[in-house]
Chain A
Amino acid sequence: MTENNVADGGRRDFLLMATSLVGGVGAAAACVPFVASMNPSSDALAKATTEVDLAGIEPGAIRTVPWQGKPVFILRRTPEQISAMAQSKGGLMPEDEGKRVQKGHEEWLVVVGVCTHMGCVPNKEEKGWTCHCHGSQYDDSGRVTRGPAPDNLPVPPYKFISDSKILIG
């Protein structure tokens, strides 16, 4: 070490940059556990399935069941509703009725009852659903017919275990 080293501005600048960088990276890394702790915990992440007994739902009636904390609408549709829906393509986001129900089980409409706009639960009206939070409307196939909702009510994964039982999830 000589006096020249002490006065070496380039060396000082390098040390300042290097220590600032390491300190900055360390501070950023220290944020990770705090931010990550706010994400869903393991128990919230645990996937859940819901089994639903369809017996006792009259034609035209609706039952709401919880699935992963979200409401799922199970609508048993009347023949008139089925034919009306089969003829229409929906509204703002046209989608074939065939993609929204399972073949041979056209009577049953199963959709996640969470408005695609801001997450309210739409209310069943005579025809379709209306979301009272911001006025979106859906038809009897869960397809959006009036905004501001940007999308149709999603169909959750489900299968028929028997003719009168479904497993959602």
Chain B
Amino acid sequence: MFNQIIDWVDQRFPLTAFVKHELTGYPTPRNLSYWWNFGFLAGFVLVMQVATGIFLAMHYKADSALAFDSIQHIMRDVNYGWLLRYLHATGASAFFFVIFIHMARTLYYGSYRKPRELLWWTGQGLLLLLMGTAFMGYLLPWGQMSYWGATVITNLFGASPILGHEIVIWLRGDFTVGDETLSRFFALHYLFPFIIVGAVIIHLVALHTVKSSNPSGIDLAAKDNIPFHPYFTIKDLFGLGLFMMLYTWFAFFTPNTLIEAANNIPANPMSTPSHIVPEWYFLPFYAILRSVPNALGGVVAMGLSVLIFAFMPYLDRSRIPGGARYRPWYRILFYGFTVDILFLGWIGFVPPTDSTILYGKIATILYFLMFLSLPLFSRAEERMMIKRGLPPALQAMIDSESKGKGK
């Protein structure tokens, strides 16, 4: 009976062929490490956020007079409302945590390199959508941090030399962040995740065209690929188990570590908290904004600090295949960049003083210098490596790849 139904569907819709081609039989490099789990984890967190978000929306009131109290209503009165909200709030942090590792893996192993440029750029678009969604969602509890975060970020658009002020007012629907702003942010916060789902499908279509990269950085011969199921379904699910322990530990036991205390005070347009900080995932970019002494320059630098990742396929001029595993200088650069971005995060977190402003400027210059020096740096590294001779393991793989192509 079941087979008959499947046959009936298959004659009208390519169900079996699709599942076989894109899921169970999808060829996957056999040497993928656990660093390749994070795309799946991001997809899982997206589903969690949509599910908890829809149920939260059934109880939330997007009205500046009611919003703050409706959050308290969810926390105290709604059955399991506290759980839904903590899962959703922790989920936002989990999303960025997973995405940052996903991006770091791409940078370390050179997964952004030809032919995966479009895959990397669709991912970059997803990051921007995620940032927008998180930012608008953060206004909804209508606490002090929500309010002033939204004020500062909408004001960023005021730095535009033409129509800056008009754009800010258009975004807010009022002269200050207010009821209008709250209801439109709620509408868009509900819409964006579905745009993200669409963008994820495009990301996956691109992935399934170029296939996964792998730790060697060199595309494997067909015989070295294995079907996605059961090998990577199991590996992804095991990774999911580990991730869930961390995620639920935060959501169950320390849900408030990532919620600023000042956000438990209702929004007050007359007074800014003495120390406002954005959510941790925006801190490095916020530090770059603060480090540039000019308002327009700061906004441009902050925008570039996120968008500059898109140029990686062209900034990296080395012809040595693969990523940091076989490239000693690039590896140093990767770790240097990691330290720099974490340091910027700390600078963004502490209140601005003369010395932290100076450190922030130095770290900001280093941040951009690492990208801008990459064309020369990667070429110099290539010359050095060719002079010294490529590592035997890498040479063997390049040889086997060219042999595979010859056949």
Contact = CB atoms under 8 A, between A and B. Distances in A.
B176 A70 contact: yes
A132 B180 contact: no
A148 B270 CA distance: 21
B174 A44 contact: yes
A38 B352 CA distance: 35
A11 B55 CA distance: 57
Contacts of A40: 169, 173-175, 180
B274 interface: yes
Contacts of B155: 117-119
B173 A71 contact: no
Interface in B168-212: 169-171, 173-176, 178, 180, 184
B295 A133 contact: no
Nearest to A147: B293
Interface stretch (A20-28, A61-69, A78-86, A161-169): A61-69
B144 to A, nearest CB: 11
B271 to A, nearest CB: 6
Contact of A148 (B272, B292, B353): B292
A88 interface: no
A19 interface: no
A121 B272 contact: yes
A119 B174 contact: no
B192 to A, nearest CB: 16
A117 B155 CA distance: 8
A64 B393 CA distance: 70
B273 interface: yes
Contact of B294 (A41, A71, A147): A147
Contacts of B170: 35, 38-39
B274 A44 contact: no
A155 to B, nearest CB: 17
A77 B331 CA distance: 59
A133 B180 contact: no
B366 to A, nearest CB: 20
A147 B169 CA distance: 24
B339 interface: no
B329 to A, nearest CB: 35
A121 B298 contact: no
A132 B351 contact: yes
Contact of B290 (A70, A120, A148): A148
Contacts of A68: 175
B99 interface: no
A39 B180 CA distance: 10
Given A66-B269, A133-B276, A150-B295, A38 B175 contact: no
Interface in A17-68: 35, 38-41, 44, 64, 66, 68
Interface in B250-277: 269-276
Contacts of B293: 147-148
Given A40-B169, A134-B290, A150-B294, A71 B274 contact: no
Task: State the majority secondary structure of interface residues on A.
Answer: loop
A134 B275 CA distance: 9
A121 B147 CA distance: 12
B68 interface: no
A121 B173 contact: no
Contacts of B269: 66, 69-71
Nearest to B353: A135
Contacts of B174: 40, 44, 69
Contacts of A123: 272, 274
B93 interface: no
Contacts of A120: 148, 151-152, 272, 276
Contacts of B152: 118-120, 133
B46 interface: no
Nearest to B298: A148
Given A135-B290, A150-B295, A118 B156 contact: yes
A35 B272 CA distance: 30
B119 interface: no
A71 B270 contact: yes
B357 interface: yes
Contact of A64 (B178, B270, B292, B294): B270
B277 to A, nearest CB: 9
Interface in A101-124: 117-123
A132 to B, nearest CB: 5
Contacts of A118: 151-152, 155-156, 295
A44 B292 contact: no
Contacts of A41: 173, 180
A103 to B, nearest CB: 29
3 tightest CB-CB pairs across the interface, nearest first?
A135-B352, A121-B272, A119-B155
Interface of A: 35, 38-41, 44, 64, 66, 68-71, 117-123, 131-135, 147-150
Given A39-B170, A132-B276, A134-B290, 14 more contacts: A35-B170, A39-B169, A40-B175, A44-B173, A64-B271, A66-B269, A69-B174, A69-B176, A71-B270, A118-B151, A132-B272, A135-B353, A147-B293, A150-B294
